[in-house]
Amino acid sequence: MFKKAILLATLTVLPAALFGQTAIDRPVAIVKLTQMDVISEKKLAYNVSLYEQQTGRELTKEEKEQVLETLINQMLVFQAAKRDNVTVSDEQILRVGMSQLMQQIGRQITETQYKQIIQDQTGMEYDVYKEEIRKQLILEKYVTEKKRDFIMRTSTPTNEEVQTFFDQNEEQFINPEMVKISHIFFATKGLNPAQKEEKKNLAEQILQKLNSGSATFAQMVRENSEDKNSVVRDGDLGSYLDKSEQNIAVFGRSFITDIFNMQVNSEIKLLESTQGFHIVKVTQHLKKTFLELDDPVNPVQTQTVREYIRNYLGMQKQQQAFQLAAKDVVQELAEEAEIQRFPDNIE
Per-residue pLDDT of 231-258, as tens digits, reads: 999 999 988 999 999 999 999 999 999 9
pLDDT of residue 50: 86
118's CB contacts (< 8 A; 6+ apart) are: 97, 101, 124, 126, 129
Mean pLDDT value across the chain: 89
pLDDT of residue 121: 86
Mean pLDDT within 286-311: 92
Mean pLDDT within 145-151: 93
CB half-sphere exposure, 139, CA atoms < 13 A: 28
pLDDT of residue 24: 56
Question: How do residues 302-341 score in pLDDT, each as one tens digit?
Answer: 899 999 999 999 999 999 999 999 999 999 999 999 999 9
Lowest mean pLDDT among 19-28, 215-224, 305-314: 19-28
The predicted model scores a pTM of: 0.62
Roughly how many angstroms between the first and final C-alpha of the chain, as a whole number?
22
pLDDT of residue 17: 40
* Residue 15 confidence (pLDDT) above 60: no
What span, in angstroms and rounded, lies between the C-alpha atoms of 60 and 62?
5
* Residue 92 confidence (pLDDT) above 70: yes
Query: Residue 29's beta-bridge partner residues?
Result: 39, 341
pLDDT of residue 346: 86
Percent with pLDDT over 70 in the chain: 93
